[in-house]
Chain A
Amino acid sequence: MTTAPTAAGPDHGADPAAPPATGLALRGITKRFGSLVANSAIDLDIVPGQIHCLLGENGAGKSTLMNVLYGLLSPDEGQIFVDGSPVVIRNPKEAIADGIGMVHQHFMLVEVFTVAENLVLGREGGIGLSMRRARRTVRELSERYRFDVDPDAKVEDLPVGVQQRVEILKALANDARFLIFDEPTAVLTPQEIDELMDVMRALRDEGKAVVFITHKLREVREIADTITVIRRGAVVGTADPTESEARLAELMVGRAVNLVVDKQPARPSAEPRLRLQGVSVADAGGHVVVDDLDLDVHGGEIVCVAGVQGNGQSELADALLGTLPLTTGSITLDGKTISGRTPKEIIDAGLGYVPEDRQHDGFVGSFTVAENLVLNSYDQAPFAHGVRLDLGRIRDNADDRVGEFDIRTQTIDTPVSSLSGGNQQKVVLARELSRPLAALVASQPTRGVDVGAIEFLHSRLVGERDRGTAVLIVSTELDEVAALADRVAVMYRGRIVGVVPPDTSREALGLMMAGVPVDEALAAAPRNSEPATSPAPTTSPEPVEGQR
């Protein structure tokens, strides 16, 4: 299983023996955590001049494998070969010495330092720092790979996509020949993802070996030369980039997956249930981040707020829950004003809320599954009598929800922090959907969630819509928007640029997300157009790098 992508299927029969003379090879890598086998006898060949996609769900063992490769974990069994000769990698320093570079999902950059300073970091060597040389390195590499990075820019001032390029530069400055990208697209906007793809192609064309870890099928098919699918810690096969998404998903999840959300046409109520009128919100620094926004969500429909991260969606969601005060305007739920109320009153009025950052806001990690399932109803009947908690009811509720939402947990007393991302999100959603709602606000409901769970979460969101709830979803993933929305509200700089039907082309949505008015966007990229017919950038009043 080397350069030639074979048809999908277990490939263990082929002789795993001789590692190739050039490139990086893993043979029989096994890593156990207690009784859990995170990697089981994994063979992998990483060849220069290729983009090798490592595809697998969250928790499949991709990151573990790469951490073994990068010296952050030591394998229990198996051997790593560089250019045909066995190596032992005990720490990242040795990995770097072997030509392995890692671009972490969470950047390892000092934000207040400049790009060049970050490059020097950790390689100070003597007392004198050669900033001049670092600057030159940045400029040279940047030119060679068309990175467009200013060596003297402060990292904190750079957009996320450019920060990521600084990470790549750091690896390249160490003469990395094997570049590992750990879920690099999770933090990027659609445009930035395209730019990253170009960068990866440029790296490949320069003869680097690129390892791209992801669970997003669209990206894999777009860029991979070789695909290796990992499921439950083992290589289940290799696939050709021309395989259909459904086939890749099936390999990854281990069963047929329905990628299209199965939903009936919406039957919206006559009156809007959730109504925002002239809503403005300021952030902590006093900047207006939501600007005089009007939006109606009817019962029985899903409205998706699409937009590039940082255009006021997060603050809008906060304002709906009441954790951020409105500077002007009002929000009503079934005709009752909820703006100016406390989160508790708003929740009790029937607003369900799935926060954007579930680790931070969605649950208490050290609390058990059972406790988290009543996090916002613990003080009400039937879970409480006065100030006394009814532990029996709380546990019964947990048993029911765990079954109903297929939450994979050892027991209901397991701390939620030890669950996978998808199951953590199921806990959050199960909690919100288990009480009668007038409206549900869900931010990035499937971020960091694997395919199998996404399918389930989407179907539950549609199910909630069909119960007559007004559903407002904030998402930066256009695939998700297209799959779920009955109407799409595109948000740009705190305003709704326009509300369009869900079958609007990606190009038109992309233009609107860059601030192009709805008429112009639709004219430039007509509905249902075929992909990528030059999306007429001349109409854009904002250059692409202007959106942050």
Chain B
Amino acid sequence: MSTATAPAPTAPRPTQQARSARRFPWTDVIATVAAFVLAFLVGAILMIVSDTDVRSKFTYFFARPSDALVASADKVGGAYGALIAGSVGGYGPITETTAQAAPLICAGLGVALAFRAGLFNIGAQGQAILGSIFAAYVGFSWHLPPGIHLLVAVLAGIVGGAVWGGLVGWLKAGAGAHEVIVTIMLNYVAAGLLDYLLTTTVFQRPGRTDPISPIVDFSATFPRLVGGQLHLGFLLAILAAVLVWWLLERSTTGFAIRAVGANPHAAATAGMSVARTTVITMAVAGALAGLAGVQAALGPSASGLPVPLSAGIVGSIGFDAITVALLGRSTPLGTVLAGLLFGALHAGGLAMQSVAQTPLTLTTALQALIVLFVAAPALVTRLVPFVRTRKARASGPVPEGGLSS
């Protein structure tokens, strides 16, 4: 056979070490940290500009620059000091950060998982609302034994989110509906559904005319660690992240999800069912977002008491989740870290407002800036020279699969 003539200029046989050396995404890490730093710099400028006191000192900057500089440093230092103290400055703040982060992580995972399948899940908000409705309903109306009650309530919430997400997958796979449109619309439907349910006798608290439900039983509320805000929900969030990692990296289902996300044509040619994978992915993504709703419904209040279901129960978790997933480059670990960061910003923002009289909106601006810089790696690369030499590889599937389309 002709191959015998080949002198076999072989590919270097991979060594065990080379084989197992998974590339650590240093470029991503550096770019993310750089985006973070840049956001805080811009945030500092915003603070200085928006503070009348400090601004007035700049009017005579050239006569006495020290006044303006000291005032600026005080202002910025005070605000960021409060932000840090309120998020990681001790046991209390740290547990507050975890409590804030838990739902963000769960919903972020829901968005990230969908990203990996090439689906842009804008519907974490609606899925979370459904999760909170299901969980709260079981929580305040079923009165089961301790332990079992919590378990059933959590599962109900997960099912609620999974149904809401799976519906999207089914519509896309079956009818070709675009998931972005469907999820956005289902967000409105979910919010409307919650508003409506809170006026029905099943959900509205007896004797109340405003839209609020009975308070969830103690037996269905996440138990928390003494002296802080850390509760079981955070553990569930971490567990969910590990499960998503396993699903994506170690399971056949995840293999199909990643293949469909990266090249649906090749996946279909290899015999994978793109439709089935889409439905499964959206159902699991919905379940994760539903778990975020569970966190909102069954997580204890700051004072440690169970909460009722109300119209604003999930806040803007589902939308923040998109940011979290984007910041976390659609990986489970990244999402956990991004969720913790945003949790810290939420927790620290409250402290910043009360201690340093900096408006809470600044934390929102900071979040937005971080995302802006993360989403625009070219900008960061230009602003931070040392990243340039290492940019090389494109980041995760977020930009290519999600944003550009």
Contacts and interface: CB of A to CB of B under 8 A. Distances in A.
A395 to B, nearest CB: 7
- Scoring A255, A342, A361, A456 by chain B CB atoms within 10 A of each residue's CB, the highest score goes to A361
Contact of A407 (B5, B11, B259): B11
B250 A361 contact: no
Interface residues of B, number: 36
B251 interface: yes
B388 to A, nearest CB: 14
Contacts of B25: none
A367 B258 contact: yes
A323 B268 contact: yes
Contact of A387 (B21, B253, B259, B262): B253
Interface string A327-356: 000000000000000111011100001010
Interface of B: 1-3, 5-8, 10-14, 18-19, 21-22, 250-253, 255-256, 258-259, 262-263, 265-273, 397
B269 A411 contact: no
A342 B251 CA distance: 22
Contacts of B256: 378-379
Nearest to A384: B252
A376 B3 contact: no
A77 interface: no
A148 B182 CA distance: 51
A399 B262 contact: no
A375 B8 CA distance: 27
A463 B2 CA distance: 12
A374 to B, nearest CB: 8
A376 B270 contact: yes
Interface in A442-457: 455-456
Interface in A51-102: none
12 contacts: A258-B2, A342-B271, A344-B273, A355-B269, A364-B258, A364-B266, A365-B262, A376-B272, A389-B255, A407-B11, A411-B19, A455-B2
Nearest to A379: B252
Interface residues of A, number: 49
Contacts of A391: 250
Contacts of A344: 271-273
Given A353-B269, A403-B13, A395 B262 contact: no
A466 B269 CA distance: 26
A388 B266 contact: no
A375 B270 contact: yes
Interface string A213-235: 00000000000000000000000
Contacts of A183: none
A366 B22 contact: no
A371 B255 contact: yes
Nearest to B254: A389
A540 interface: no
Contacts of B271: 342-344, 346-348, 376
Interface string A366-402: 1100010001101100001001110100010001001
Contact of A321 (B3, B18, B263, B269): B269
Contact of B6 (A255, A353, A399, A413): A255
Contacts of B18: 410-411, 413
B123 to A, nearest CB: 26
B263 A364 contact: yes
Contacts of A409: 11
Nearest to B272: A344
B268 A343 contact: yes
